[in-house]
Amino acid sequence: MKINKCFLDLKNSYLFATVGRKTAEYKKAHPEKDVIRLSIGDVTRPLAPVVVDAMKRAVEDMAHTETFKGYGPDQTCYGYGELISSIQKSYQRKGVTLETNEIFISDGAKSDCGNILDLFSNENIVLLPDPVYPAYADANTMDGRKIVYADANEQNGFLPMPDPSVHADIIYICSPNNPTGAAYTREQLKVWIDYAKSLDALIIFDAAYEYFVTDPSLARSIYEVEGAKDCAIEICSYSKTAGFTGVRCGYTIVPMDLKREGASLNQLWARRQSTKFNGVSYVTQMGAAAVFSEEGETQISRNIEYYRKNAELIGNMLDRLGIWYTGGKNSPYIWLKCPNGMDSWAFFDYLLEEANVVGTPGSGFGKNGEGFFRLTAFGTEESTREACERISRLLQK
């Protein structure tokens, strides 16, 4: 028996473990201090009432022979019609027309960002932005694919554009980006689409944070941009949109027009899913179907607005201090340049010790993250306000 040796090439990610350990050590040494975590990457607001009601009704269905549900419908890879059509309608509101068989229900974006790779040879070269959500690099490393990076930095506003001299076969784009909060306009995405087409490459577009986008010039779906349907797969999630991080549901769009080497990627994905996946629970799917109802959209936007206000508090504080940052306006993440040339971990220690505020060192998300720092809007309004006051007092000194 031989193991997949590619696993040995994975870099250990000490980022969140080290943040947790350093925070715990500080709290133990200073039990009287009120430490505020602006490092939370998870949602904190509860599910929308309309979602909870739909899930309760679905549980009740499961309690009676007449309405009990087993495996989901085969023909849609176990996605229920109500959910698929609610997603189709949500795309229509963005001006995007999808066929129902282009929508695949999943247990979240993280799984599909990795699972989709089953469709592709490990000889493909993968292009990732740096910094970005670390799961893309890890999933490709497990398969032994070569990874090249598009450098995101202060000069390009953490929105790298394609370099025509670089060859890539699979291109991940995360917009709005985790950790930088930077988001592409439709025009910028068109440049990426043209680049992908010039190479016959595929874009994997991670839209996990699309519901935070308010600026009308920014794309919420890559399919808002002409020409995307034959070169892009889009991966979406209810996690940040509707607080489903603990419920688990997402959806992936694989258009019918997407073909490579004569094969339909839609058919390959359907085959992959029906072999290795048995669907998302009925109760979860019914909850998710309520998210894009009229009432659902109103209720989830209240939670998103809550986080958006927190992001605004943080952004305003940084504006007052004259600190450079991206994100915060169309994203729950604020990505700031560490003051006084501090490196990411030095600033982490300084904020923890002097302001009792915890953030995430940017260097943990890629080499270009060094000297930057991520704060998130997922805390409570009170703690965010208090953290902003403390940071202001500290950095004004």
Query: Are 168 and 159 in contact, with CB atoms under 8 Å apart?
Result: no
Q: Identify the three-state secondary structure at position 44.
A: coil
Q: Does residue 15 touch ligand PLP according to CB under 6 A?
A: no
Among 41, 114, 227, 339, binds ligand PLP (CB under 6 A): 41
> In angstroms, how far apart are the furthest CA atoms of the chain?
69
Q: Which is nearer to ligand PLP, 41 or 339 (CB)?
A: 41
The answer to the question of residue 395 lying near ligand PLP (CB under 6 A) is no
The Cα 74–Cα 279 span in angstroms is 10
What is the closest distance, in whole angstroms, from the C-beta atom of residue 95 to ligand PLP in the complex? 23
* Distance between CA atoms of residues 280 and 34, nearest Å: 40
Stretch that binds ligand PLP, among 7-15, 20-28, 108-116, 353-361 (CB under 6 A): 108-116
Are 230 and 255 a contacting pair, CB within 8 Å? yes
Rounded to 5 degrees, φ, ψ at 109 are: -70, -35
**Per CB under 6 A, does 188 bind ligand PLP?**
no
Per DSSP, the three-state class of 272 is helix
Residue with token string 């990874």: 147
108 touches ligand PLP (CB under 6 A): yes
Q: Give the residue with the Cβ less far from ligand PLP, 331 or 356.
A: 331
Answer for which of 36, 110, 162, 307 binds ligand PLP (CB under 6 A) is 110
Shortest separation between residue 165's beta carbon and ligand PLP, angstroms = 27
Stretch that binds ligand PLP, among 49-57, 104-112, 142-150, 290-298 (CB under 6 A): 104-112
Under the binding rule (CB under 6 A), the answer on residue 206 touching ligand PLP is yes
Q: Total residues contacting ligand PLP (rule CB under 6 A)?
A: 13
- As measured in angstroms, the least distance from the Cβ of 91 to ligand PLP is 18
* Interaction between residue 109 and ligand PLP (CB under 6 A): yes
CA count, 13 A, side-chain hemisphere, 34: 6
Residue closer to ligand PLP (CB basis): 237 or 285: 237
**Which of 13, 101, 245, 267 is the binder for ligand PLP (CB under 6 A)?**
245
Cβ neighbour number for residue 320 with a 10 Å cutoff? 12
In the list 54, 173, 174, 196, the residue contacting ligand PLP (rule: CB under 6 A) is 174
Q: Could you check whether the bond before residue 162 is cis, i.e. omega within 30 degrees of 0?
A: no
| Residue placing its CB nearer to ligand PLP in the complex, 80 or 212 | 212
Interface positions, 119-148, toward ligand PLP (CB under 6 A): 133
Write down the least CB distance from residue 250 to ligand PLP, Å: 4
Cβ at position 237, least distance to ligand PLP in Å: 3
C-alpha dihedral, 321 to 324 to 325 to 328, nearest 10°: 40
CA-closest candidate to residue 311, choices 238, 246, 374, 369: 374
C-beta separation of 292 from 178 below 8 A: no
Among 239, 236, 240, 132, which Cα is nearest to 182's? 132
Least separation in angstroms between residue 113's CB and ligand PLP is: 6
Residue whose CB is less far from ligand PLP, 173 or 265: 173
* Nearest residue to 287 (alpha-carbon basis) of 276, 300, 301, 277: 300
Residues of this chain, 246-285, that bind ligand PLP according to CB under 6 A: 250
Among 115, 140, 141, 178, binds ligand PLP (CB under 6 A): 178
DSSP state of 46: P
How many angstroms separate the CA atoms of 325 and 259, rounded?
Answer: 39
Closer of 239 and 273 to ligand PLP (Cβ): 239
CA–CA dist 74, 224 (Å, integer): 30
Q: How far apart are CA 226 and CA 349, in angstroms?
A: 46
Residue of this chain nearest to ligand PLP (CB atom):
108
Which residue ranges make up the site for ligand PLP (CB under 6 A)?
A: 41, 108-110, 133, 174, 178, 206, 208, 237, 239, 245, 250
